[in-house]
Chains A and B, each alone.
Chain A
Amino acid sequence: MPSVFASVPIAATLRTQLASCGLRTAEAIKNLSAEQLSHQLQISYEEASELLQAVQAASTPKPRSALDSLSQQLQQSNISFSSNALDSLFGGAGIPTAKVIEICGCPGTGKTQIALQLSANVICNPEGDQPCRSIYIDTEGSFMAARLRDMLPTVSDLSTQDDNSPLDNLYYYRVCNHLELLALVKSLDQQLEDHNNVRLVVIDSIAFLMRMNLEDAGLRARLLTTIGQTLLRLARAHRLTVLLLNHINSKMASDDFLPALGDSWGHIVPNRLLLYEDKGRRYARLYKSSNLPDKTVPFRITSQGVRDTIPDQGHDQSLKRNYFTDDENSLPDVYEE
C-alpha cells in the first residue's frame, strides 16, 4: 500500500531537500514546528507551515466507525497456514492482517517451518495484479530457500511466469548481532515505503541475539521494547502481519513452558502461539490472544510443508501396542480447554 508520506502533495525539489535532511517519513516532519522547518529547509515561514499542514492532514487518522473497520477487515485477505486446524485457531481463515504474533517452542517443534509456510503462502497469492511480498529477517541462519520452494502451493496460472518468480518476492535479511537487528528494524519504515505490498514480516528468531550475551538487563529490556513498539506501529500503519519466533527457556514440568525474553516482552506481544510435541505428534496452542479462545490443535509437517493430521492413526496405534500392554486411549484430534 502507498505510504502516508508518498501521498502528501509536495513539490519534488522540496521532497529531495527533505530527504537530504533525513526527513523521509511523515512521522518525523510532524514533530517539528514551522520555524524549525523553515530554518532547516531554508524556505519561507508560509511555505513551511503549508507543508506542515499538508503532512498533518494526510497523516491524522480520520475517525472511523466500527462498521467501516469491520468491513475493511473482511476485505483483507488472510494468510493461511495450509492447515485447516491451524487456520481454525485464528477464526478459520488463517492469520488476519495487521496482527503481531509470536510463535514459541523448543527446537525442532516447527517454528521455522510454519514461518516458511506462511511466507510461501504470501508470495504465491497476489492481490489482483500486484504481487505480495514478504520480508524474512534471519538471525539464526536456518532459512532454507529450497525448503521454501518445496512449500510453495501449486498455483494453476503459473504458466505465464517462470518458476522462480514467487521466490523473487521474498526479501531475505541476515543479521549477525543485536545492533544490526536494531538498525534493520529502525530502517524498516523506509523499506516498506520503497516496496509496496509487503504483507508479512518474519523475525526468526527474536530471542537468539537478545539473550545472555546482552549483560545489561535494562538495556536489553529497552531494546526489546523499541523493537516491539516499532513492529506494532508498522503492523498497524502498513497493514501487515508480523511473525516473531521465540525460544523456550526452560521446561519446568511436563506442560509448563516458559518463553524466553521474560515478562516485559510478554506484555508487548498481543498474540502467542506455543508449539510442542507430545508422543511424537505436533500440537499448536494459542494461549494468549486479545479476541480468540485458548485452543489446542494438532498438525504435522510433511515434505510439502505444514499440513493437517490424518484422522486415521491406526498404524501408529498398532505399533504402540507391541510395547505398551495397557492400551492407552488415543488423544482426540482436537480438544479445547
Chain B
Amino acid sequence: MDWATISRLDVRPRIHSALQQSTYESLGQILQAPSLELQKRLKLSSLEVSELETAVCEVIYNVRSRRQTAAELQNLQRFLSTGDPACDALLSGGIPTRGITEIVGESSSGKTQLLLQLCCIAQLPTNKGGLGGGVAFLHTEGKFPIPRLTQLLTRYKDDFPPQFDPSAHVHYVNLVDTETLYHIVFYQLPIIIERQQIKLVIIDSIAALYRGEHFDQDTKGRLSQRKELCDISVQLRTLSEQYGIPIVCSNQVSDALLDNEATSILDAYEQWLPTVETDISDIELEPFVASLSKVPTLGFLWSNSINVRIRLARGHRTEELMKARRLMCVEFAPHAGKGCVEFEIYDLGLRAVSSTSETSDDVPSL
C-alpha cells in the first residue's frame, strides 16, 4: 500500500510499517478482512489489529463529520418543478433533488416531452422552480430533438437574462451501446457536472440500450449485464448525493407476458382504480387501463434502484376526439402519495387538463 494512504491512519508507527510491507492494496481490503487474517498476515497482536480496524473505519466513514440531524436535513430538501402547478402538487412539490426519478410509459405517452420540459426548467433560478444550472442529457433513442427543445425554450425566454442562451447549457450526447453509457456515467459525468455547473442529469432512456443489446447471450453474459445495471444505479445515486442534483431516467414498458391479456388488464383495474377514481380527481380509468397494465422493463433489479416512479399513460383514441388523452401518475415516491393528473401536450410543452370544474377550482390555470 502506498504511504499516502497509510499515513492517513491514526495508528502507532509499528502498524504503519507492517502495512507498508504487506500486500494489502487498499483500506477496503483491510476493512473486509477478518481480524485473524490481519493478525497472521501483518504479524500484529490482536490489540494492534483492533487499533488498526478502528482507524480504518474512521478514515473510510468518519461518523462525526457525516452525521446530520433530521432538523438540519429539513432545510436542505429542494425540488425541481415540472412546469405545471397541478403536476407539482401531484408530486408534493416536484422532483426531489436527491435520488433517481424514473419516468416510465408507453411510446408516445409523453416521456421525452416531459424530459425536455425539465431541461428548460432546471435552468431557471430557484425562486421559479428551477435549479439554476445546466443539464446533461444522455440520449439513447435516435436523434436528439433539438428543434423541439428550442420551441419549448421560447416559453421561458422572459425568465432568462437577455444575453443568456439556455440552449447552450444543455449538454447532450447520443449513445449507442451500454459500454459507452457505462464509461460516460463513471468517468465523464462527474467531470462535466463539476466543470459545467450541471444541475440535472437525464438519461433517455435507460431501457433502450439494455433491452436492445445481447439478445442471445448466455447466463454469464446476462449476469454481467445485471451487475452493470447495479453499478450504474449505485454510481448515479452517489453523484446525486455528492452534488445535490436530481437524476431523471426514462424507461419503457413491455406487455405483461406472465398472464393473458384479460388478466393483466383486470389487475391494472384493481391496482389503479383506487388511485384514479377518488373523491378529488374524477378521471375515468377506462381509456388508460390498457396502457397502465404494461410492465416497466428491466425488472425488479431496476425497480429497486430508483426512488420515484412516475407513470405516464396514453389513452386510446376515440372517434369524436382525435387528440390523445394522457395521464401522469405517481406510482411510488418517498414524499408523495399515489395519485394522477390528466395532461396534454401542446406546442409550448406539457400542461395539466382540468377534467371537471372541481379540479379547475383547485388548480390555477397557466
A is bound by B: yes
Q: Which residues of A contact B (CB under 8 A)?
A: 21-24, 28, 31-32, 36, 40, 106-108, 112-113, 123, 136, 140-149, 164-165, 167-177, 179-180, 182-184, 186-187, 190-191, 207-209, 211-213, 215, 219, 222-223, 247-251, 260, 277-281, 301-303, 315-316, 319-320, 323
Cβ contact within 8 Å between A140 and B237: yes
* Interface segment out of the listed B64-72, B200-208, B348-356: B64-72
Closest A residue to B234 by CB, please name it.
A213
Find chain A residues with CB under 8 A from B337 CB: 301-303
**In-complex Cβ contact of B63 among A31, A146, A190, A281 (8 A):** A190
- Known contacts A141-B237, A174-B241, A316-B274: A183-B71 contact under CB 8 Å: no
Using a CB-CB cutoff of 8 Å, which residues 49-72 of chain B contact chain A?
50-58, 60-61, 63, 66-71
Cβ contact within 8 Å between A323 and B269: yes
**In-complex Cβ contact of B61 among A108, A184, A320 (8 A):** A184
Most buried by A among B73, B242, B309, B332: B73
Bitwise, B298-337 to A at CB < 8 A (1) or not (0) is 0111011111010000000000000000000001101101
- Known contacts A36-B45, A140-B99, A164-B71: A146-B335 contact under CB 8 Å: yes
Q: B173 to chain A: closest CB distance in Å?
A: 24
Tell me whether B273 is interfacial, beta carbon within 8 Å: yes
- 12 additional contacts (CB under 8 A) given A144-B334, A280-B274: A22-B54, A28-B47, A107-B304, A142-B99, A144-B96, A170-B69, A174-B241, A179-B32, A209-B234, A277-B271, A303-B337, A316-B274
Q: Given the complex of chains A and B, what is the CA–CA distance between A170 and B242 in angstroms? A: 21
Tell me whether B74 is interfacial, beta carbon within 8 Å: yes
Cβ contact within 8 Å between A280 and B300: no
Q: Given the complex of chains A and B, what is the CA–CA distance between A24 and B51 in angstroms? A: 9
Using a CB-CB cutoff of 8 Å, which residues 21-58 of chain B contact chain A?
27-28, 31-32, 34, 45-48, 50-58
Cβ contact within 8 Å between A24 and B54: yes
24 sampled A-B residue pairs with Cβ under 8 A: A21-B51, A22-B53, A22-B55, A28-B47, A136-B70, A143-B73, A145-B70, A145-B73, A145-B74, A171-B67, A173-B66, A179-B31, A179-B32, A179-B61, A186-B31, A186-B53, A187-B54, A190-B54, A208-B304, A212-B227, A250-B300, A280-B271, A302-B337, A320-B273
Q: Given the complex of chains A and B, what is the CA–CA distance between A239 and B306 in angstroms? A: 33
Find chain B residues with CB under 8 A from A184 CB: 57, 61, 63
Closest B residue to A37 by CB, please name it.
B47
Cβ contact within 8 Å between B50 and A147: no
Find chain B residues with CB under 8 A from A219 CB: 32
For chain B, what secondary structure do more than half of its interface residues adopt (helix, strand, loop), or is it mixed?
A: helix
Find chain B residues with CB under 8 A from A167 CB: 69-71, 74
Closest B residue to A149 by CB, please name it.
B74
Find chain A residues with CB under 8 A from B306 CB: 107
Tell me whether B293 is interfacial, beta carbon within 8 Å: no
Find chain A residues with CB under 8 A from B272 CB: 280
Find chain B residues with CB under 8 A from A147 CB: 334-335
Tell me whether B16 is interfacial, beta carbon within 8 Å: no
Q: B187 to chain A: closest CB distance in Å?
A: 17
For chain A, what secondary structure do more than half of its interface residues adopt (helix, strand, loop), or is it mixed?
A: mixed
**In-complex Cβ contact of B238 among A176, A186, A323 (8 A):** A176
Find chain B residues with CB under 8 A from A223 CB: 32
**In-complex Cβ contact of A32 among B47, B238, B271 (8 A):** B47
- Known contacts A141-B237, A170-B69, A208-B304: A180-B47 contact under CB 8 Å: no
Find chain B residues with CB under 8 A from A180 CB: 60-61
The 5 lowest CB-CB distance pairs between A and B, nearest first, are A108-B332, A22-B51, A280-B274, A167-B71, A183-B61
Cβ contact within 8 Å between A36 and B28: no
Cβ contact within 8 Å between A183 and B300: no
Find chain B residues with CB under 8 A from A278 CB: 270
Cβ contact within 8 Å between A212 and B73: no
Cβ contact within 8 Å between B307 and A148: no
Q: Given the complex of chains A and B, what is the CA–CA distance between A15 and B98 in angstroms? A: 42
Most buried by B among A191, A280, A281: A280
Tell me whether B177 is interfacial, beta carbon within 8 Å: no
Cβ contact within 8 Å between B57 and A183: yes
